[in-house]
Amino acid sequence: MSRQPGKMTSDTTVMTTRLRVTHRHSRATAYRRPGGPWDVPSLEALLLDAQQRPEAVVDGAIRLSSHDVALLAARLAGGLRGAGVRRRDVVAWQLPNGFESVLLYRACWRLGAVAAPLDPDLSAPEVARAVELLDPTVCVGGIHLPLGSRPRSWVTGGRALPSRRRGTETGTVASDPHRDFATLLAAAPEPVITAAPSDPAVALLATATTVEPGVVLHTHRTLACTARGLREAQEVGPGDTVLSTASLAGIAGLLQGLVVPGLAGAGTVLVPRWNPGLVFEVLEREGISQLAAPPDVLVGLVSHPSRSAPRLRALRLVSTSGTDVSEVLAALATDHLQAPIQFGYGSTEAPFVAIDRFGEEPAHRRVVSPTCDHTELRVVDPGSERDVSTGAEGELWVRSPNLFAGYLSPEDTTAVIARGGWFRTGDRAVLDEEGRLRVTGRLPDAAVAADPQDESPGARALAP
What contacts 319, CB < 8 A, 6 or more positions away? 234, 256, 290, 291, 292, 293, 341, 342, 343, 344, 355
Residue 15 pLDDT greater than 80, yes or no:
no
Q: Are strands 138-142 and 354-355 parallel, antiparallel or unpaired?
A: unpaired
Per-residue confidence (pLDDT) for residue 165, from 0 to 100:
43
What contacts 323, CB < 8 A, 6 or more positions away? 294, 295, 296, 452, 454, 456, 459, 460, 461, 462
Residue 27 domain-assigned (yes or no): yes
Residue 101, domain extent: 2-52+64-206
Report the CATH number that the domain containing residue 24 is assigned in CATH.
3.40.50.980
Per-residue confidence (pLDDT) for residue 168, from 0 to 100:
36
Per-residue confidence (pLDDT) for residue 306, from 0 to 100:
64
Strands ordered across the beta sheet of 369-370: 62-64, 57-59, 267-270, 241-244, 290-292, 317-321, 341-345, 354-355, 369-370
> Coil, helix or strand for 356?
coil
Residue 192 domain-assigned (yes or no): yes
As for how many domains the chain has, the answer is 1
Nearest to 446 by CA among 420, 464, 419, 423: 423
Residue 377 domain-assigned (yes or no): no
Residue 8 pLDDT greater than 60, yes or no:
no
pTM for the whole structure:
0.88
Residue 437 domain-assigned (yes or no): no
Convert the pLDDT of each residue in 209-266 to its tens digit.
444 568 999 999 999 999 999 999 899 999 999 998 889 999 999 999 999 999 999 9
Residue 310 domain-assigned (yes or no): no
Q: Is the dihedral of CA 230, 40, 452, 105 positive or negative?
A: negative
End-to-end CA gap in the chain: 37
> CA-based Rg of the chain, rounded to a whole angstrom?
21
When the pLDDT of each residue in the chain is averaged and rounded to a whole number, the result is: 84
Residue 158 domain-assigned (yes or no): yes
Residue 140 domain-assigned (yes or no): yes
Residue 101 domain-assigned (yes or no): yes
Q: For residues 288-307, give the mean pLDDT.
A: 83
